[in-house]
A and B are shown apart, each in its own frame.
Chain A
Amino acid sequence: MDRRDNASSSAPALGPDASFRRDVLRHEEARGLYACFSCGACTAGCPISEVFPEFSPRKLAKRVKLGLKRDVLEDPYIWRCTTCRGCEQHCPQNVRLYDILNVLKNMAAEAGFAPPAWVEQTRWVMRTGLVYPRDAALAKKRRARSLPALMSRGEQAERLIARTGADKIKAREEP
């Protein structure tokens, strides 16, 4: 079941790829990654690592530095980040791990590994302006509490998202 089993069956799972490292570092958000000296304060402060040691910001930084492209981009755990920024909060070297993770997620999404939840949310934003659908039951509920009707619309968001190509991203296939 482990993704590493899948990877090793087809091709060597791990192999340094300097071009990957450079691709990541080309993003302004990833600057400073090389300053990381692997002290682990990020992982110590990561609530997801507490529950899933497989998710380790420290190891992620090192994996990127080593250029382990497939290992990083195919890693399902990078999507479990809860965006709390605990990793950045106590970094003694000012490494912006949250931003770097977003760069990695963008690259993984482009490569076809985005979880359906995020792709679906983008679809809804393009339709309703919000990440959720809106139905009659909700409208009724709001009316009952004398709250104004929700009026947001998705056209403008759709045009802007289309400009970035994010509307073309397909979700990874779930087993």
Chain B
Amino acid sequence: MAAKREPRIGLFLCHCGKNIAGGLDLEALAESSKGLAGIAYVTTHKFCCSEGGQAEIAGAIRGQNLDRVIVAACEPSLHLLTFQRCGEEAGIEPQFADLVDIRKWTMPGSPQKVDPGLALEESRKTVELAVKRMRLKRPVPLVTVKAEQAALVIGGGIAGLEAALDLADKGYQVHVVERQPTIGGKMALLYKVYPTNDCAPCILAPKTAYANIHPKIELLTNAEVRSVKGHVGGFRVEIVQSPRYVDTDTCTGCGDCVAACPRRVRDDVYAAGLGPRKAVFIPYDQAIPRKAVIDAANCLYFRNGTCRLCEKACLAGAIDFNQQPRTIGLSVGAIIVATGFEEYVPSAKTEYGFGRFGNVVTQFQLARLLDIDGPTKGRLLRPTDGREPRTIVMIQCVGSRDETAHPYCSGICCMYALKHAQIIREMVLPETEIHICYIDMRTPGKGFEEYYRRTRDMGILFIHGKPSEVAERPETKSLVVKVEDMDIGRPLELEADLVVLSCASVPPAGSEELSRILGIERDDSGFFKELHPKLRPVETRVRGVYLCGAAQGPKDIPASILQARAAASFADGELRRGTIRLPASMVKAEEIEKGGA
């Protein structure tokens, strides 16, 4: 076989202002790189990514007759695309332009920063490896594959639905997979939303209803993704739908089966554990699909083979105890992950007594108690005795900003505490005293500071301090909250009929499994990891898999909607031409199971 022509590699070392040049001797690095096999040209530039820097790279490619380019600068996720495009302009195929990160060794604030000597040594190694790789690299054959005009959306909350509707309106077939028996997600449980205090179901229902009737959208409730194979444009997805034991085609949602069911159990979802439901139930009035579902773990027929009263009550004959799990195979071109979040269960913070003291609840429970469609029909009553609370203390940052639980700020808890305080003061119990204990109030969204001001104007009392503990008075089941108000610098004991914990937002159960199925990463907090936290907050490591909503990290509804639209836009961008050019190796690999083992 004929010997390959020796490639001519150009190496561009970036000062990045002082970020790199201030931390190592770039001239020394340039000097030592000159002798590397394959290197035809080495230079440094103050900012390689700038217009001038790119012009110089393009000029060198032409002037020095370079056929390959390496830039040693920052993380590839920041600028690889920049230099690939720059190289392409000058006639170099994107696969022969590379960017390697030497800035991590020198950048002030970088966790990997080392002293200049070591930085030079590490950078040398990085550059050497990159040159070696580039020199040996052979052209990767690209092939054209069909881009399926369909997408999978995992999660039927507000983020997932927004993305699904966007893509469906653009003409793609969209499959929405939702673990719960109804779509709507957390938003359906909020009662009202800030800063407008709109009724949450009122502004959610148009979306859910439209998704339900949209000819391009298929809703798969009670379903989970089991496996994903393939690549962007051609993912093959396997979904398992758990039996509902109710035929959704014939069920009319009349509720006769629910009335007939003798088995009452705690409703942990729609009543947040504060009210009952039946073993056969319709999750809530605006549920979609508004069809009954049997909870087999609690159904008397499944437990001991008796009862079947629902079956007798159903005139439509929709009850079907013989339903089996159904496996569904789909081909889609893109996948949008919108699995949302869960509320941190605060029982591990034993100092606040959740689970031990009946009148300590979470904000999501409070939302259900305030909801006119909730377990108390919108009357705010204490769980232990059904009395109206005269004093309420809210505790912020429970499990958030806490090294013993979750170090991050959950971002939404300040605002929903304000929202609940406003609702109680304005609409529910105007005479009830409300105290909010906080470390910092964080209200940076549009109209949010004004909302905070309005809450203060209502006479809600803000106590600047994190409570150390909550005690219960055994006779009355009322509570005592110990907190320092740091503005006066004095510990206080607040008497409270009801204590409400504003808990961290945490990744939902199953996130780890899903990250394995999709081959995407999770961050230290367990949320799905974006390709770059600043510049590429929607893409993931896997081309064609995008993130939106709280699946990527705690966020509120407007931010979730924005990101959902962005994710849909990315998916559209990949699929709209109908075909995709991919390295042949990727396509060859498509039969291999996900999961790495």
* Min distance, Cβ B362 to any Cβ of chain A, angstroms: 18
Interface residues of B, dominant DSSP: loop
B469 contacts which of A39, A53, A90 (Cβ < 8 Å)? A90
Interface residues of A in 6-60 (CB under 8 A from B): 35, 37-46, 49-50, 53, 56, 58-59
Interface residues of B in 48-99 (CB under 8 A from A): none
Instruction: With A37-B439, A39-B439, A50-B491 as known contacts, state yes or no: A44 contacts B468, CB within 8 Å.
Output: yes
B440: nearest chain-A partner, CB-CB? A37
Chain B residues whose CB sits within 8 angstroms of the CB of A86 once the complex forms: 468
With the chains together, A46 CA to B439 CA distance in Å? 18
* Min distance, Cβ A124 to any Cβ of chain B, angstroms: 34
With the chains together, A64 CA to B205 CA distance in Å? 55
Q: Is the CB of B468 within 8 A of A92?
A: no
Q: Is the CB of B468 within 8 A of A90?
A: yes
With the chains together, A35 CA to B484 CA distance in Å? 19
Instruction: With A45-B469, A93-B403 as known contacts, state yes or no: A56 contacts B484, CB within 8 Å.
Output: yes
What does the 1/0 interface line of B442-480 toward A look like (CB < 8 Å)?
000000000000000000000011111100000000000
Chain B residues whose CB sits within 8 angstroms of the CB of A46 once the complex forms: 491
* Min distance, Cβ B514 to any Cβ of chain A, angstroms: 29
Question: How many of chain A's residues have a CB under 8 angstroms from any CB in B?
Answer: 23
Interface presence of B404 (CB below 8 A): yes
Q: Is the CB of A59 within 8 A of B489?
A: yes
* Min distance, Cβ A135 to any Cβ of chain B, angstroms: 41
What does the 1/0 interface line of A84-105 toward B look like (CB < 8 Å)?
0010011011100000000000
Chain A residues whose CB sits within 8 angstroms of the CB of B351 once the complex forms: 89-90
What does the 1/0 interface line of B492-523 toward A look like (CB < 8 Å)?
10000000000000000000000000000000
**Interface centre among B405, B484, B490, by most A CB within 10 Å?**
B484
A44 contacts which of B397, B402, B403, B491 (Cβ < 8 Å)? B491
Chain A residues whose CB sits within 8 angstroms of the CB of B464 once the complex forms: 40
* Min distance, Cβ B495 to any Cβ of chain A, angstroms: 15
A46: nearest chain-B partner, CB-CB? B491
Q: Is the CB of B404 within 8 A of A44?
A: no
Interface presence of B129 (CB below 8 A): no
Instruction: With A43-B484, A44-B484 as known contacts, state yes or no: A89 contacts B489, CB within 8 Å.
Output: no
* Min distance, Cβ A149 to any Cβ of chain B, angstroms: 44
With the chains together, A35 CA to B403 CA distance in Å? 10
With the chains together, A156 CA to B324 CA distance in Å? 78
Q: Is the CB of A49 within 8 A of B403?
A: no
Q: Is the CB of A41 within 8 A of B466?
A: yes
Chain B residues whose CB sits within 8 angstroms of the CB of A45 once the complex forms: 468-469, 482
Q: Beyond the given A35-B403, A43-B486, A94-B403, please list 8 additional residue pairs across the A-B interface where CB-CB is below 8 A.
A: A40-B483, A41-B465, A43-B489, A44-B465, A44-B466, A44-B467, A44-B484, A53-B490
Q: List 28 A-B contacts (CB under 8 A).
A: A37-B439, A39-B439, A39-B465, A39-B466, A40-B466, A40-B483, A40-B485, A41-B466, A42-B468, A43-B489, A44-B465, A44-B469, A44-B482, A44-B483, A44-B491, A45-B468, A50-B491, A53-B489, A53-B490, A53-B491, A56-B484, A56-B489, A58-B484, A58-B486, A86-B468, A90-B469, A92-B403, A92-B405
Top 6 nearest A-B pairs (CB, nearest first) are A45-B468, A40-B465, A39-B466, A40-B484, A44-B468, A92-B402
